[in-house]
Chain A
Amino acid sequence: MSNALQIALIPLLPLAAFVILGLFGNKYVNRSAGIIATFLLASSAALAFYTAYQYFFEYGKVEGVYQKVTAFKYTWLQFSDQLSIDIGALIDPITAMMLVVVTFISLLVHIYSLAYLKGEKRFATYYAFLGLFTFSMLGLVLSSNIFQMYIFWELVGVSSFLLIGFYYDKPSAVAACKKAFIVTRFADLGFLIGILVLSFYAGTLDFNTLIERLTSLQSAEFKMATAASFMGISALTWGLVLVFIGGAGKSAMFPLHIWLPDAMEGPTPVSALIHAATMVVAGVFLVARLFPVFQISPIAMDVVAYTGIISALIAAVIACTQTDIKRVLAYSTMSQIGFMMFALGVSKTGGEAGLGFTASMFHLFTHAMFKALLFLGAGAVIHYVHSNEMKDMGGLRKYLPITHITFLIACLAISGIPPFAGFFSKEEILLAAYHHYPVIFYTALITSGLTAFYMFRLYFSIFWNKQTQVHSEHSAPHDSEKHGEGGLAMMLPLIVLAMASCLAGFIHFGNFVTADGKPLTTALHLLFSVAPVVLALAGIGIATWLFLRQNDSPVKYSNKLGNLYKAAHQKFYIDELYGFITQKIIFNLVGRPAAWFDKNIVDGLVNETGNGTTTLAEKIKAFQSGKVQQYAIYFLGGVMGLTVLFIYLWK
């Protein structure tokens, strides 16, 4: 199999699943839809792993540097002589890594959903949408052209929309999917204009050429892009910041994060795949893809870094107060992506200074594993309890032993406790920020302590704390089978991911993924690790003290925090602010006047023209009275007028 075909098949197999199941699914193969889709995705995953293996170990490295390889490229739409959308595949270390992450998580989610959505009426549709999503995500990471990325960017957006709205008869799900789509669309507007700006100055849409032209300080394109400025900031920076807005929207960065918690209305496996592991890191991926260009503009880098850290902190604070377990996880996702984002923002290219880039990608990788695990674990819990609320849970460790253990592993991993995966990646991120960005470093340190606290708050509330009453009614023997942990299909992904969460940290990421393609040796600084680990342990300790047993101290302390707690619980009123802007300002001050203007002014003018004509006709009609003598008078008047005219005036 040729390389190009092999790579092309990776996204095309999920697409085939989408087409087959979308067209014939519900009617003919509803039962076996899951099997078909899983099989196709397994093939795709196998190809992706093989491709990544080939890239990293066989052909990717030339003289010690990982190259960017364009596997194939076809012109899809020619805009002008220079600009064209090419559909192609660009393989470099981050793409290869993302291929593995996306297919791997997607495969596990496919398997998991076999049990989770069993008996669902639109089973085939669900798998069709999953296939569409996987296809789009793979297309996104393979993009060789910035417009191609935009295309798949929109497609992942729409698959996310479809999957969030999968339970379409639930009004909350409908509202959530609309919100997710519109907020990310708003961000995409920035992305689109950013593309227009960058492509205008670079004279190309192709990633390789674009990066090459905009980073070589001598090229005419670079000079033009930095010389042109708007409001004192160079066009290049504007372009990058606008592109970053797109990334921030998709990655749920503050203040465009409001859609992510609501997106939890979708089926839980979907949240694991889309809203934890893959789609939401697209923004990080986008910045990483354009990283060399971002390097040129310190302002853009600062924007990335500070947006990242602010999001990380705010999300962590909010996560401490939420009671819906999926929302806690959503905010934690946002927080972790904030980590990845600021790691990119503080990074440089090459050598030790390029640690941030590697760390960010590393964290992206490990986070995908343990966050997917957390979501799938939460899915198992929800499947068992039929509720998302913490108050309906507690003491579940006896009923869900495997879920319990794997969930614990994931919590330890995200908290950054050695030797779990999160520890290694988070240490690298903190180290990257340590030297030049003290503010970011200390904020990140606090945030990672908070992370440990809210994760263990979640863990204890689900598996320890009080005894739930929910299950006494389900305890009849025939029910226990149905309401167990969901069988092998659900447990296998959990176990695999738990193993990944334990082991992923030991991969020497610096050998594979760096900003400049050259390997980077990362050493573990033991002394440096003390502070974060101690903070994490402290967070866990507090959580244990407050939530291990049912007591009233959490309520007491939250009351003491007063308004801060309330504000955090209400997500700092950002939703309300957006609601105000859209409902009150856009609808009332723009939409309604526009509609009114059209109805009354524009339409009114047309109607008035009509009415005016009629009135005029009505008036003229009086002349035609039918009275012969009147006509004669007019006639006489006319003749006399003409006489006067011709005799006296017309000389």
Chain B
Amino acid sequence: MNLLLLILIPLVTAVGVLLAAKQQAKWIAFGGAAIQLITSFVLLAAFYAQRTAGNTTQFLFEQQYNWFPSLNISFHLGVDGISVAMILLTAFVVIAGVLVSWKVDKMTKEFFFLLILLSLGAYGFFISLDLFILFFFLEIAVIPKYLLIGIWGSGKKQYAANKLALLLMFGSALVLVGMMGTYFGSGAHTFDLPALAKLNMPVEVQKICFPLLFAGFGIFTALFPFHTWVPDGHSAAPTAGSMFLAGISMKLGGYGCLRVAMYLMPEGAKEYANIIIILATIAILYGAFATMMQQDFKYINAYSSVSHCGFVLLGLGMLTKTAITGAVMQMVSHGVMTALFFAIIGMIYERTHTRQVNEMGGLLKVTPFISTALFIVGLCSLGLPGLSGFVAEMTVFVGSWQNADAFHRIATIAACMSIVVTAVYILRAIGKVAMGPLKAGYETITDATWNERLATIILISGILAIGLAPFWLNDLVRPGAEIIMQKMSASH
């Protein structure tokens, strides 16, 4: 399987969107996303085929081309189970995002072009094995967001777009500095990830570079206290933009923390693990409590994303194989779930023209499909077994509990407490929006259209695929986590 396909398909689609007539842009984008989804499945199948055939190389389908030889930068691609999981997630979110944007009327071509460009950045990011290329794709995934929010957003869109772009740029800057530190500090003068991982970097370098890289990527995944771009950014973005932000962008950060910061610098990770845990626990509880107080539907999901992404960081900070596996599963699960949540919020907003939960009520009566989907995604968010959230959170909890000292125990119990708070705010939102007497003025609104239904079904099937049969994802992710943990325990 040639990994270049994963980059070429979005590239061709993006060019196609630009060249097409306005009316056809969305169809081309949809076609490209669909092909990409199929390609991702093919990748998954090929990956399994290789693994079952006994190929235990860490990264499969590796490719390497010279890119900038004098600085030792090469175009190095390859995937392991974690990347495959993230690529699948991206493909799901992208196709759903394209589908819910069916009615975008303003500068349609540019809109879809930016969406596809963003996905291109994400795919590239997940398959890069060279720090520089990784960074390159990370930036590709950041810039379109600014435009998406600034042009197609709503509310305080300029403020939100600025804030988001600046904070993410700040994160990127930290990553860049950390990268340079790695490049020079390791003494190898290379950006190649596997090569860097093989040599044990000096402990002092790790202690300096790890926080830079982890915080830099952490900002993407709503590391407390750098999470404030999340609520504003999400609420101002157009529906597809929110889906991409929460479903993909925030995962870039988590993936980067794991693949770059922790993989390269186990000593640094050990050094700062406790700080990560503290910040993550704060984010989990504090995000959850802040959610309880929100009135705007998008803010509710945005703050809950802060809380849920806290589990990712918590799992990473716990430094056990199970917890790290759980963290990755939480990334995938949260990505699908939150994308669906934003999609549904968007659909409801299109019909009721309000995002204040107090102004809605009884929508189950008029929009059974959307409301049922809202129930499903809400229950997934509060961790109902059979849906994806449960599996991921439980894996994180069990993994966290394996650390037997009081500090980790307290953090775990505090994180567990969020399941109650989550139930409170989710039920509050669902109760106000879908249940209760139908508010006047909403009698005539219609249920989902075919494209919305398709998007919803695609994402729900993702949620169910993880929730009902978590073993495939677990098998996919565990070996990756195992290698990181081996490196962690090998270095002393």
Q: Do chains A and B touch in the complex (CB under 8 A)?
A: yes
Known contacts: A75-B471, A147-B394, A168-B435. The answer to whether A594 contacts B402 by CB under 8 A is no
- Chain A residues with Cβ below 8 Å from B320 are 80
Q: Are B435 and A169 in contact (CB under 8 A)?
A: yes
- Write the chain B residue with the least CB distance to A139: B385
Which B residues from 109 to 146 make CB contacts under 8 A with A? none
How far, in whole Å, are A178 and B433 apart by their CA atoms in the complex? 13
Q: Are A189 and B420 in contact (CB under 8 A)?
A: yes
- Chain A residues with Cβ below 8 Å from B292 are 587, 591, 595
Q: B273 on the interface (CB 8 Å rule)?
A: no
How far, in whole Å, are A151 and B383 apart by their CA atoms in the complex? 10
Q: Which of B163, B385, B402, B431 gathers the greatest number of chain A CB atoms within 10 Å? A: B385
Q: B391 on the interface (CB 8 Å rule)?
A: yes
Please encode chain A, from 145 to 176, with 1 for each CB lying within 8 Å of some chain B CB and 0 for all others: 00100111011001000000100110100110
- Chain A residues with Cβ below 8 Å from B402 are 80, 200
- Chain A residues with Cβ below 8 Å from B163 are 606, 610
Q: B395 on the interface (CB 8 Å rule)?
A: yes
Known contacts: A595-B294, A606-B163. The answer to whether A178 contacts B427 by CB under 8 A is yes
Q: Are A79 and B322 in contact (CB under 8 A)?
A: yes
User: How far apart are A255's CB and chain B's nearest CB, in angstroms?
Assistant: 16
Q: Are B471 and A77 in contact (CB under 8 A)?
A: yes
Q: Which of A77, A597, A605 contacts B391 (CB 8 A)?
A: A77
User: How far apart are B285's CB and chain A's nearest CB, in angstroms?
Assistant: 8
How far, in whole Å, are A77 and B392 apart by their CA atoms in the complex? 10
Q: Which of A154, A178, A193 contacts B385 (CB 8 A)?
A: A154
Q: Which of A78, A79, A147 gathers the greatest number of chain B CB atoms within 10 Å? A: A79
Known contacts: A77-B474, A590-B289. The answer to whether A606 contacts B228 by CB under 8 A is yes
Q: A317 on the interface (CB 8 Å rule)?
A: no
User: How far apart are A640's CB and chain B's nearest CB, in angstroms?
Assistant: 37
How far, in whole Å, are A591 and B303 apart by their CA atoms in the complex? 12
- Chain A residues with Cβ below 8 Å from B229 are 606
Q: Are B471 and A171 in contact (CB under 8 A)?
A: no
Which A residues from 548 to 597 make CB contacts under 8 A with B? 587, 590-592, 594-595, 597
Q: Are A193 and B322 in contact (CB under 8 A)?
A: no
- Chain A residues with Cβ below 8 Å from B416 are 189, 192-193, 196
User: How far apart are A105's CB and chain B's nearest CB, in angstroms?
Assistant: 23
- Chain A residues with Cβ below 8 Å from B188 are none
User: How far apart are A47's CB and chain B's nearest CB, in angstroms?
Assistant: 23
How far, in whole Å, are A171 and B439 apart by their CA atoms in the complex? 12
Q: Are B294 and A77 in contact (CB under 8 A)?
A: no
Known contacts: A169-B435, A185-B423. The answer to whether A79 contacts B390 by CB under 8 A is no
User: How far apart are A183's CB and chain B's nearest CB, in angstroms?
Assistant: 10
Please encode chain A, from 267 to 281, with 1 for each CB lying within 8 Å of some chain B CB and 0 for all others: 000000000000000
Q: A186 on the interface (CB 8 Å rule)?
A: yes
Known contacts: A594-B289, A602-B225. The answer to whether A151 contacts B364 by CB under 8 A is no
User: How far apart are B372's CB and chain A's nearest CB, in angstroms?
Assistant: 9
User: How far apart are B437's CB and chain A's nearest CB, in angstroms?
Assistant: 5
- Chain B residues with Cβ below 8 Å from A605 are 225
Q: Which of A169, A591, A594 contacts B437 (CB 8 A)?
A: A169
User: How far apart are B457's CB and chain A's nearest CB, in angstroms?
Assistant: 11
Which B residues from 370 to 424 make CB contacts under 8 A with A? 379, 382-386, 390-391, 394-395, 397-399, 401-402, 404, 412-413, 416-417, 419-420, 423-424
Q: Are A155 and B419 in contact (CB under 8 A)?
A: no
How far, in whole Å, are A77 and B402 apart by their CA atoms in the complex? 17
Q: How many cross-chain pairs have Cβ atoms below 8 Å apart between A and B?
A: 131
Q: B438 on the interface (CB 8 Å rule)?
A: yes
Q: A182 on the interface (CB 8 Å rule)?
A: yes
How far, in whole Å, are A530 and B424 apart by their CA atoms in the complex? 49
Q: Are B398 and A154 in contact (CB under 8 A)?
A: no
Size of A's binding interface in residues, CB under 8 A? 47
User: How far apart are A25's CB and chain B's nearest CB, in angstroms?
Assistant: 11
Q: Are B436 and A155 in contact (CB under 8 A)?
A: no
User: How far apart are B450's CB and chain A's nearest CB, in angstroms?
Assistant: 16
Q: Are A79 and B398 in contact (CB under 8 A)?
A: yes
How far, in whole Å, are A106 and B397 apart by their CA atoms in the complex? 35
Q: Which of B228, B362, B437 contacts A598 (CB 8 A)?
A: B228
Q: Which of B293, B322, B385 contacts A592 (CB 8 A)?
A: B293
Q: Are B474 and A169 in contact (CB under 8 A)?
A: no
Q: Which of A26, A168, A200, A606 contacts B434 (CB 8 A)?
A: A168
Known contacts: A169-B362, A171-B437, A595-B290. The answer to whether A200 contacts B397 by CB under 8 A is no
Q: B321 on the interface (CB 8 Å rule)?
A: yes
Q: Are A77 and B434 in contact (CB under 8 A)?
A: no
Q: A506 on the interface (CB 8 Å rule)?
A: no
How far, in whole Å, are A594 and B229 apart by their CA atoms in the complex? 17
How far, in whole Å, are A178 and B420 apart by their CA atoms in the complex? 12
- Write the chain B residue with the least CB distance to A22: B372
Q: Which of A78, A594, A602 contacts B227 (CB 8 A)?
A: A602
- Write the chain B residue with the least CB distance to A154: B385
How far, in whole Å, are A313 and B43 apart by their CA atoms in the complex? 63
- Chain B residues with Cβ below 8 Å from A590 are 289
Which A residues from 78 to 110 make CB contacts under 8 A with B? 78-80, 83, 85
Q: Which of B167, B364, B424, B470 contacts A76 (CB 8 A)?
A: B470
- Chain A residues with Cβ below 8 Å from B167 are 606
Q: Which of B365, B386, B395, B427 contacts A77 (CB 8 A)?
A: B395
Please encode chain A, from 17 to 44, with 1 for each CB lying within 8 Å of some chain B CB and 0 for all others: 0000000001000000000000000000
How far, in whole Å, are A186 and B162 apart by their CA atoms in the complex? 40
Q: Which of B227, B303, B401 contacts A200 (CB 8 A)?
A: B401
Give residues in A with beta carbon < 8 Å to B.
26, 75-80, 83, 85, 147, 150-152, 154-155, 158, 165, 168-169, 171, 174-175, 178, 181-182, 185-186, 188-189, 192-193, 196, 199-200, 587, 590-592, 594-595, 597-598, 602-603, 605-606, 610
Could you list some 28 contacts between A and B, CB below 8 A? Answer: A77-B395, A77-B470, A77-B471, A77-B474, A78-B471, A78-B474, A79-B399, A80-B321, A80-B398, A155-B384, A165-B435, A168-B364, A169-B365, A169-B438, A171-B436, A178-B431, A182-B420, A186-B420, A189-B416, A189-B417, A193-B413, A196-B397, A590-B289, A591-B289, A594-B289, A597-B286, A598-B228, A603-B232
4 closest Cβ pairs, A-B complex:
A595-B293, A151-B385, A594-B289, A168-B435
Give residues in B with beta carbon < 8 Å to A.
162-163, 166-167, 225, 227-229, 231-232, 286, 289-290, 292-294, 303, 320-322, 362, 364-365, 368, 379, 382-386, 390-391, 394-395, 397-399, 401-402, 404, 412-413, 416-417, 419-420, 423-424, 427-428, 431, 434-438, 469-471, 474, 478
Given contacts A78-B478, A79-B322, A591-B292, 14 further A-B contacts (CB under 8 A): A76-B469, A77-B395, A85-B394, A151-B385, A151-B386, A168-B434, A168-B435, A169-B365, A169-B437, A174-B436, A196-B412, A200-B402, A595-B292, A610-B162
